[in-house]
Chains A and B, each alone.
Chain A
Amino acid sequence: MSGFPSGRTAVVGAATFGQGRAPGFEASDLAAIAAGLALEDAGLSLTDVDGLFFCHPTDTMGGLSFAQYLGIRPKVTDNNRTGGSAFQTYVEHAAFLLDAGLIDCALIAYGSNQATATGKLVSTVQPMRYEAPYRPLNPVSSYALATARHMHQYGTTREQLGAVALAAREWAQLNPEAFKRDPLTLDDYLASRRVSDPLTVLDCCLVTDGAAAIVMTRADRARDLKRKPVHVLGAAAETHHREIGWLDDLTVTAAQASGARAYAQAGLGPSDIDVVQVYDAFTINTILFLEDLGFCPKGEGGRFVQDGAIAPGGSLAVNTNGGGLSCCHPGMYGLFTLVEAVRQLRGECGDRQITGAERALAHGNGGVLSSQATVILGL
């Protein structure tokens, strides 16, 4: 028994703000606006928040700064920095803290103005001493090394990676909030500029601004709030390394472990999931995570996606907002997978809505396939 309080907490508010370009705002401004929208969505206010879970793109004590910005005095301030998976681990920790009664209302928020501020990925990461002399273009080169192994071991092709990028774009075309909505063909993909072989510009996530927030409380309180509660059925994480060279097999991630534990907590398996949101920083991520989370066998990810299985109308709804590849990627994307999962379960997704979706999986990835965290949500 994991002791995870399955179904005893719920997401009761969710919001995004400024996806794409949001000139004139600092990162904390964007996060604060998203936080306010998520609290309004829940019918709660800042004065209700007693647990703050926050990650700032460049301020390593951002949790403290954000409490100050909001003018709140949280009992719990979680500033963990496992990378883009931090937000899934926040859900895991918030569920335990809420269930134990340490806190009553958790606010999980993120915001970034990286695109308008610098035009590139911002990060606090320092080059690793034993990698730096070889000048990997990180994070791209690390994911490229994993992609090269997947191609070598399983025969995965550029066309199959392209199918991931095309599916993301097709979903983005159904999402008014998505940043990249112009048509994308396989020829465009195959002709795109190489960055770190075998990855090209169109294998890489966007560089955008954007903010997101969710609000969690206990299930009993959630019933009295204004929105349909989305229950947290399982949440688990695992870290295997920091730099890519210390992942034993570059085609197998810690998502196998985080996913297995999250499924066990929820009492569900891959076939029970209606909507899948995975952190697609690069096209290989979607393939690796679909394998590691049990949606297809190891090594079959490329063949699984190649004929549009994860595009709109396909057999499995994956990254229905357009993902980090075509919707938004403000440096850390994990929270956006959670917001999209919540919106699908509430039935708010308009043209991209998966009819009757009752269970969703939102998977976060941090570092270079380093930290993996899986959340399973259900009505």
Chain B
Amino acid sequence: MDVTHPDSEFRAFLAEGRFMIQRSRGTGAFVFYPRAVAPGTGARDLEWVEASGRGIVYSTTVVRKRPPEPSYNVALIDLDEGVRMMSRVEGLDPEAVTIGMIVCARIIDQDGEPVVVFDPVEDGQ
């Protein structure tokens, strides 16, 4: 699938419940965030492919808020495809998120916008 409008297409896919990332046809390298041109090579041969959604927490932090506002997690996730994205891990205390945790993507509605977040994956799942 050709890329003609990188950001709006990415968002439209998310709104359909599809987490799509890009891949360069020439090198096979995956790309995130959405672009018109492949980083490193400059090739204009990016296509959309469905992300596996599987990833691993590369690093993690907890943004501390003054109570009662809840503190929250911010993490960098390395997807199985070899690209990294900022996101957050949900479903556990923000400080319980650890580097190396296996996680899986989920699309949520956040203030009317579809956003990719991650859940921890239990062993063997």
Binding site for B on A (CB under 8 A): 129-131, 133-137, 141, 144-146, 148-149, 152, 193-199, 243-246, 250
Docked-complex contact A245 and B84, CB < 8 angstroms: yes
Residues of B within 8 A of A199 (CB): 61
Task: Contact check, B76 vs A129: say whether CB atoms are below 8 A apart.
Answer: no
Cβ-defined contact, A149 with B59, below 8 A: yes
Contact B87 A134 (CB under 8 A): yes
Identify whether the interface residues of B are mostly helix, strand, loop, or mixed.
Answer: strand
Q: How many Å from the CB of B107 to the closest CB on chain A? A: 11
Q: What CA separation (Å) do A141 and B74 show in the bound complex? A: 8
Residues of B contacting A135 with CB < 8 Å?
63, 72, 74
Chain B contact residues, CB within 8 Å of chain A: 7, 32-33, 58-64, 72, 74, 76, 84-88, 95, 99-100, 110, 113, 115
A residues within 8 A CB of B72? 135
- Asked if A246 contacts B84 (CB within 8 A), the reply is yes
- Tell me whether B62 and A133 are in contact (CB under 8 A): no
Given A135-B72, A197-B95, are A148 and B88 also a contact pair (CB < 8 Å)?
no
Chain B residue at smallest Cβ distance from A153? B99
Assembled-state Cα–Cα distance A196/B115 (Å): 22
Whether A130 touches B85, Cβ cut-off 8 Å, given contacts A141-B61, A145-B76, A197-B61, is yes
Interchain residue pairs with CB less than 8 A apart (22): A129-B7, A133-B113, A134-B88, A134-B115, A135-B63, A136-B61, A145-B59, A145-B60, A145-B61, A145-B76, A148-B61, A148-B99, A149-B59, A152-B100, A194-B62, A195-B63, A196-B74, A197-B61, A197-B95, A244-B76, A245-B84, A245-B85
Q: Which of A130, A131, A250 contacts B59 (CB 8 A)?
A: A250
B-side contacts of A141, CB under 8 Å: 61, 63, 74
Cβ–Cβ < 8 Å partners of B62 in chain A: 194, 196-197
In the complex, residue of chain A having the shortest beta-carbon distance to the beta carbon of B61: A144
Residue numbers in B under 8 Å from A194 (CB-CB): 62, 64
CA distance A129 to B10 in the complex (A): 12
CA distance A80 to B123 in the complex (A): 50
Q: Which residues of B contact A198 (CB under 8 A)?
A: 61
Q: Given the known A-B contacts A129-B7, A145-B76, A149-B58, are A137 and B85 also in contact in the complex, defined by CB atoms under 8 Å?
A: no
